Structures are given as structure tokens and as C-alpha cells.
Amino acid sequence: MKITFINKETKDIESDLEIILLKKNKYLKANDMFIQKNKLYVKIVNFKYYTITETLTNTIKYIYKINKYKSVKISLYGISDIKIQALIDGLLLGGYDFTKYQSKTKKLKLQNIYIANQNYKDIELSYEDIKSKIDTNIKINININLSRDMINSVAQDTTPIKISNWIQEELKNTNIECIIKDDKYIQKELPAFYDISKGSINKPRLVHLKYNENKGYKKTVLIGKGVTFDTGGISLKPSAYMYDMRLDKAGAITIFGIIKAINDLKLPIEIHAMLGFSENMISNNAYKPGDVIKTRSGKTIEIMNTDAEGRILLADLFEYAQDKIKKIDYIFDYATLTGSVEGAIGQYSAGLIGHNSKLKNAIIKVSKKVDEWYVDLPFNRYFFDSSYKSAIADFTNTPTSSIGGGTIMGGIFIDNFLKKKYKKKWLHIDIACVSFIKNSWKYHEFGATGFGVKSSVYLIKRLTKHSIQ
Ligand code: BES
Ligand code: ZN
Ligand code: ZN
């Protein structure tokens, strides 16, 4: 399905159906709709962002359900950034359906949605300006839906090798360079990352994506946890907590979505995305509690719990990225790192961790505008005291005394692998709760949300104009 903005009034556009949003209509109750003579009348309570997306989500689902119309037209309902975004979010994100594993799927008839350049007054915005706002949202949302497809796909279809190949395939006609490093390379260069995959026959892969390398732009490094399935390893997860662990690759997939959207929007910035794909399995070859493993730089970690695998993968990726990429301006990591983030802040936000309040505030502010939510989880210097002190190695991989704050503690572990000069340039984003939901919410159905792509693209876009130290 394609959305096109047309510089015509609605009446001059040919289509099978017209969507008309009505605020005042005594025959319609909230969310009600009816079709009369190729016009679909939909009651809308107000024209706020949330209401527009919700109403359009219901509307597009209804059109797909009837599955009769090939083309649909709708006019703009206000031309502020947020209203344009609401329209596109409702249609594209609300219209998303994950049917890959259903044997009987109906072929959807809808091919085109036309948005007419109509329905606003007194605001001087050219067709090109509005078109560019619409296109930006379309490009971001297409990549959110692609990310949702990848996260939703089950573990046997997204082993480290398969997901790396899928990513390479998606990037064929872009300006993103895709370098895939195999398990032999990982064993030599990122030994701790290698060790957490030892229990699996599905060998790990490191995917390094480069966009605008060495063109003199600001340099952002994105690091993502891509555990394609997390059984917990020898510290096995209980079944109820294990079954949806295909979501554990969401961090890596989110940064794939971000870099791909940035490419599609042609933003002037240099991006390096480091995606670490690994499967945390249980077998006679798996790493064990009590093992001591070594990171790239030789730091030693005593394994207390093989289920805290994500932070080990990130530790090595951090050391690798800082060695390989010089003069980094920003370094953001995305990971489904801790189950405790849900208890701390609920299902609908990401946990935000870092040393730089300005950077944290910038993402919080930008994200609110696009209706994604981050909650600042501040460090407290007492958290650092002896938190990962091992009797025999440099660190343990889980906190040695139970002081709570699991998500903050996750951040504190990674912090140990960050060079001093990069501390203020770093954000750690824990998306364990918000990346995959069990109940429908907003324009999301059960499954992957694609959370983080939109807000991060807008943050990075902002950083191309105003840098934050
Ligand atoms: N992948 C999990 C975190 C997770 C849990 C993500 C639930 C999404 C939903 C991670 O690898 C993990 O198991 N973390 C442990 C860390 C603990 C052992 C310190 C956790 O959160 O319990
Ligand atoms: Zn785990
Ligand atoms: Zn995990």
C-alpha cells in the first residue's frame, strides 16, 4: 500500500472511497463509522494527536476488513507537524498486521491512499513543505514496520546468520555499507561476546553498518543487543518468561531501523551501527555460572548468572566500537537488558540512562513530540560502590548485593567499558518493556512496537543542527 500526497482538492481526486472525519454528527457516537455512496463517515471526538491516530487506526483496519476498495482518499486535517504525523501514524502503523505465520491470509485489495492538499486555512505552507513533512513520516514508519517484522519473526527464522543476511538484503539499494563478521572473527576480536553464544549451534554474527563514513559529519555510534533467543542459558528462564524471548534482538533491530530511516531521509551525519547477534542457549558447551571470561581489552568477568548475557555482549561491543571508530561524537546503545524496567516504569516507556543530563533531556523532549516516552533513571554514586565486585575476577556480571534498581545497575555494568572521554557522550536505552507488548495499545497490536526508531531519528536529526556537549 502506498500513500501519496496530491496537490488537488479531495473532490478532484479519483478513488473508490473517501474517508471523512466528522467531529459533529448527531447520528454517530465515538469511533462509529458508516459507508454511504463511496464515502466512509467516521466520528472523531477531537483533532488531538492521540485521537487522530486512534480513529485512523480503527478506520484503516475497517477498510482492510471489508477488503473491497483499491484506492482511498482523505484530506489533511490540519497541517501542524503533529497532525500530519498523526495521520500517517494511524494509517501506516495502525494498519500494520503481522501475518507471516498464518496459512490463510487474504490478499489485501487496497493499493493507494491519496492525501488531498485541502482542509486548512490561514497557514502559509507550500505544497512542497507539507509534502516533505508527509514523506518524512512515511519513510520513518515504513522502517518501523520493517523493524516490527524482523522483531516479530521467530527465532528459527532469525538466527544470527539469517537475520544478518536479511539485513544485508534490505540494505542493497541504499548508501549503507554492510559488513558482516563471522564467529571466527568474533572469537578473536570480541571474546566475551563469543562466549555467551557457545551453547548454541547458531553461531554469532557482528553486523557493522556504515553511513556517510569519513565525510566530515558528526559521528554517532549506535550499539544494539541482538540476542535472537534468550533461554537464559544454564541459569534457565522459567517457561512463562522464556516463550517471547525472540524479542531479545529488539535493540539491534531498532538501530537497523534508525540507520535505514536516516539513509532514506538522507540526513547529513555519519552513523556506525554495531549489531551483535547471538543466541543464548543451553547445552554441554554453554558458558556456565562461575566461569570467568575475558573481554576484548582483557577485562575479566565472573559469570554469576548466564541470563545476564546482554551486558556482556554490550561490554565487548563497546570496547570494539571505541577501538575501531575514532573521535565519536555520540554513542547510544539500545537493549532489552532488564526485566525489572517494567516494574520500575511500566510498559509504555523506555528507561534512559547516562551521565549527561543535557543529552537525556534532549531525547526526552524530542520524543514527547513524537509520542514516544523515555524515563530518566538517574545514577546515584552509591550505586557504583562495589556493585560488581568479584572475589576472583575484575567484575561479576550481576550485582553482588541486592540493592534493587536492576535497570540502573545494568547501565552501571556497561559504564565500566566506556572510556572516560566518552562518558558524557553516551546514552543507554533499555527497551525491555516497551519493545514488545502483549495487549494492543495505541497503534500497536500484540508483538513488536518498533519503539525508539522514530524518536531516535528525530533526536539525531536535531543533533545534526545543534550539538550537545
Ligand atoms: N533479555 C533479558 C531481559 C528481558 C526480560 C527482556 C523480560 C524483556 C523482557 C535479559 O537478558 C535478562 O534476562 N536479564 C536479567 C538480568 C539479571 C539476571 C541481572 C533480568 O532482567 O532478570
Ligand atoms: Zn538473559
Ligand atoms: Zn537477554
Contact 356, 448 (CB under 8 A): no
Catalytic residue among 205, 311, 425, 454: 311
CB 459 within 8 A of CB 363: yes
- 390-409 tens-digit pLDDT: 999 999 999 998 789 999 99
Task: Determine whether the shortest distance from the Cβ of 263 to ligand 1 is under 6 A.
Answer: no
Centre of ligand 2 to C-alpha 216, Å, is: 38
CA 142 to ligand 1 center in whole angstroms: 29
164 burial (CB, 10 Å; 0-12 / 13-18 / 19+) is buried
Q: What would you measure as the largest C-alpha separation in the chain, in angstroms?
A: 77
Count of positions (residues) in the chain:
469
Cell of 356: 549527561
The pLDDT of residue 401: 83
Closest ligand 1 atom number to CA of residue 336: 6
Output the pLDDT for position 124: 67
Active site residue 296: no
- Measured by CA distance, the residue closest to atom 18 of ligand 1 is 308
Q: Are strands 447-448 and 436-437 parallel, antiparallel or unpaired?
A: antiparallel
Ligand 1 near 310 CB (within 6 A): yes
d(CA 436, ligand 3 centre) in Å = 13
Decide: 340 in ligand 1 pocket, CB within 6 A. yes
pLDDT at site 121: 63
What distance in angstroms lies between residue 12's CA and the mean position of ligand 3's atoms? 53
**Residue 161 belongs to what H/E stretch?**
helix 160-170
Q: Is the CB of 336 under 6 A from ligand 1?
A: yes
Query: Which residue among 305, 337, 413 is best mutated to probe the pocket of ligand 1, counting the most ligand atoms within 8 A of its Cβ?
Result: 337
Q: Is 237 a catalytic residue?
A: yes
> Is the Cβ atom of 351 under 6 angstroms away from ligand 1?
no
End-to-end CA, the chain: 42
- Under DSSP, is residue 396 helix (H, G, I), strand (E, B) or coil? strand
Per annotation, catalytic residue among 61, 210, 218, 237: 237
Contact 317, 323 (CB under 8 A): no
The C-alpha cell that represents 213 in the structure block: 563514513
- Taking a C-beta distance cutoff of 8 angstroms, is the pair 143, 155 a contact? no
The residues placing their C-beta within 5 Å of ligand 3, an ion, are: 227, 230, 248, 310
pTM of the model: 0.97
Ligand 1: does its nearest atom lie under 6 Å from the Cβ of 195? no
Per-residue pLDDT at 450? 98
Atom of ligand 1 nearest to the CA of 241: 7
Digits of tens for pLDDT over the chain (469 positions)?
999 999 999 999 999 999 999 988 777 776 689 999 999 999 999 999 999 999 999 999 999 999 999 999 999 988 888 999 999 999 999 999 999 999 998 899 999 999 999 866 656 678 899 999 999 999 999 999 999 999 999 999 999 999 999 999 999 999 999 999 999 999 999 999 999 999 999 999 999 999 999 999 999 999 999 999 999 999 999 999 999 999 999 999 999 999 999 999 999 999 999 999 999 999 999 999 999 999 999 999 999 999 999 999 999 999 999 999 999 999 999 999 999 999 999 999 999 999 999 999 999 999 999 999 999 999 988 888 778 999 999 999 999 987 899 999 999 999 999 999 999 999 999 999 999 999 999 999 999 999 999 999 999 999 998 899 8
Rounded Cα distance between 307 and 309, Å, is 5
**Which atom belonging to ligand 1 lies closest to the Cα atom of 248?**
1
Among 340, 306, 334, residue whose Cα is nearest residue 318: 334
The confidence score (pLDDT) of residue 424 equals 97
Nine-digit cell at 209? 553498518
Q: Which atom of ligand 1 is nearest to the CA of 399?
A: 19
Beta-sheet pairing, 112-116 with 71-75: parallel
Query: Which atom of ligand 1 is the closest one to the Cα of 338?
Result: 21
DSSP category for residue 172: T
Q: What is the pLDDT of residue 398?
A: 97
